[in-house]
């Protein structure tokens, strides 16, 4: 009985006092993950080529830094002598060290995947019972990022499991970003801020704009479904603790309009920007979206506030993201497949946010407007007056293409 009580007390202690390495993710992490495109079909050559293309494409210069290998990087069994994880000898014949070194030599950072359960989702060795040993091994491999999944966890307490791994990373001594991936099943936004740097808020994303993919016993979610599912937990996000809306599907089968809308909303929601496409085969349109520095600046804004839904009118959603220095971003998202008119009268709208304690009253302060993508079609009346967007002294009238957005950055005019 004493042993049981001691174990319970230890678990509660870990949940209450788990402390991650602070300050590693003051803005949402940016990088690439292998799962969306490659699943378990990964190898050393792929990783090195992805690192090359992250640099060559301009993604590194735009702020992307992490290359994360998801499920399938390890052998089916642990080392029988040491109990350590073993990289798959066919996929990584020289081990992981040369791969990690190559990624680091490019000025990038390297991440791995494992699971809180006894197995990973694809059936490889999980970490349950090996937390401190695995953390030491990650530190010895110079890992910078750990994505930690939630398969094969029957009977396991989520808070205890993630707190244990968080403590193990801290004890191992190497600063590692800790990404909780338990699909929002246990409301991690309510307890995970001391434990990790980001936490998944839903099941897996699917490369569609507004569908739900049924796999039989579970579902994957299109872009708008994930947005709708977790639009009311924004108060839990901020610097060093982010709501993770999952890896992006930009450049992985959706239309250019949908990719732009998807990326814009991840920027507005202050979600980690983790690409999931094949960087080696990107079209220029995809590169242009993923490397748009003005959109990225909205995501990386130091205030760290997640956008809120201001209004839904017809098929257009209006999202507002307060930014530092009194600025703000506004995203008008067209859910319809067809072009829709936007008529937004700034002076009739007072935008107040209880989370960031900000208010924007356009009847009192004028703002200049920057159209981040330069898209949207002006009405003929506007074209006759000027070929640029007006400031907030007059309404904005645009036609937004189907499944697309108009993303704006507003800056107060100094009198």
Burial class, 377, CB count within 10 angstroms (exposed 0-12 / middle 13-18 / buried 19+):
middle
Residues catalogued as catalytic: 149, 204
Q: Which residues, other chains included, contact 363 with Cβ-Cβ below 8 Å and sequence gap of 6+?
A: 347, 350
The encoded tokens of residue 396 equal 């904005």
- Strand residue runs (E) in 4-127: 30-33, 66-68, 109-115
Helix (H) or strand (E) holding 51: helix 44-56
Q: Which residues, other chains included, contact 380 with Cβ-Cβ below 8 Å and sequence gap of 6+?
A: none
The angle subtended at Cα 283 by Cα 279 and Cα 285, nearest 5°, is 115
**Rounded Cα distance, 299 and 321, in Å:** 9
Nearest to residue 126, comparing CAs of 191, 76, 185?
76
The encoded tokens of residue 121 equal 């989702």
**Rounded Cα distance, 155 and 135, in Å:** 23
Q: What is the DSSP letter of 277?
A: S
155 Ramachandran zone, left/alpha/beta (phi>0; psi -120 to 50) = left
Cβ atoms within 10 Å of 6's Cβ, excluding its own = 10
Angle between helices 158-172 and 2-17 (to 10 degrees): 70
**Rounded Cα distance, 112 and 144, in Å:** 8
CA distances to 1, 170, 365 from 368, in Å: 68, 46, 10
Cβ atoms within 10 Å of 5's Cβ, excluding its own = 9
Distance of CA 237 to the CA centre of its chain: 12
Q: Which residues, other chains included, contact 397 with Cβ-Cβ below 8 Å and sequence gap of 6+?
A: 341, 342, 343, 344, 378, 379, 381, 382
């Amino acid at each position: 009985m004493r042993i049981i009580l001691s174990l319970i007390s230890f678990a509660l202690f870990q949940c209450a006092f788990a402390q991650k390495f602070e300050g590693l993710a003051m803005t949402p992490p940016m990088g690439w993950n292998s799962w969306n495109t490659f699943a378990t079909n990964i190898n050393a050559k792929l990783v090195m080529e992805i690192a090359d293309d992250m640099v060559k494409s301009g993604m590194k210069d735009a702020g992307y830094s992490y290359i994360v290998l998801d499920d399938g990087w390890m052998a089916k069994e642990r080392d029988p002598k040491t109990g350590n994880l073993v990289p798959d000898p066919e996929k990584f014949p020289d081990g992981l060290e040369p791969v990690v070194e190559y990624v680091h030599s490019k000025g990038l950072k390297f991440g791995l995947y494992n699971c809180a359960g006894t197995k990973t989702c694809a059936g490889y060795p999980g970490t349950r019972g090996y937390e401190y040993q695995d953390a030491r091994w990650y530190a010895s491999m110079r890992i910078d990022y750990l994505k930690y999944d939630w398969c094969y966890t029957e009977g396991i307490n989520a808070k205890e499991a993630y707190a244990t791994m968080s403590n193990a990373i801290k004890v191992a001594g190497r600063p590692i970003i800790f990404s909780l991936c338990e699909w929002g099943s246990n409301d991690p936004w309510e307890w995970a801020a001391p434990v990790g740097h980001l936490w998944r808020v839903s099941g897996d994303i699917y490369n569609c704009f507004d569908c739900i993919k049924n796999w039989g016993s579970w579902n994957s979610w299109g872009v708008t479904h994930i947005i709708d599912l977790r639009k009311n937990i924004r108060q839990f996000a901020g610097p060093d603790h982010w709501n993770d809306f999952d890896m992006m599907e930009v450049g992985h089968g959706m239309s250019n309009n949908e990719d732009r809308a998807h990326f814009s909303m991840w920027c507005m929601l202050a979600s980690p920007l983790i690409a999931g496409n094949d960087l080696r085969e990107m079209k220029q349109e995809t590169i242009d979206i993923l490397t748009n520095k003005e959109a990225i600046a909205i995501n990386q804004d130091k205030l760290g506030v997640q956008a809120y839904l201001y209004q839904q009118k017809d098929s257009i959603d209006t999202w507002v993201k307060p930014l530092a220095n009194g600025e703000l971003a506004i995203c008008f998202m067209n859910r319809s497949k067809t072009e829709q008119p936007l008529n937004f009268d700034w002076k009739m709208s007072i935008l107040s946010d209880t989370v960031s304690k900000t208010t924007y009253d356009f009847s009192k302060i004028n703002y200049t407007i920057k159209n981040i993508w330069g898209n949207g079609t002006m009405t003929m009346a506007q074209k006759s007056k000027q070929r640029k967007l007006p400031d907030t002294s007059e309404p904005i009238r645009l036609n937004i293409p189907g499944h697309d957005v108009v993303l704006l950055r507003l800056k107060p005019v100094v009198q």
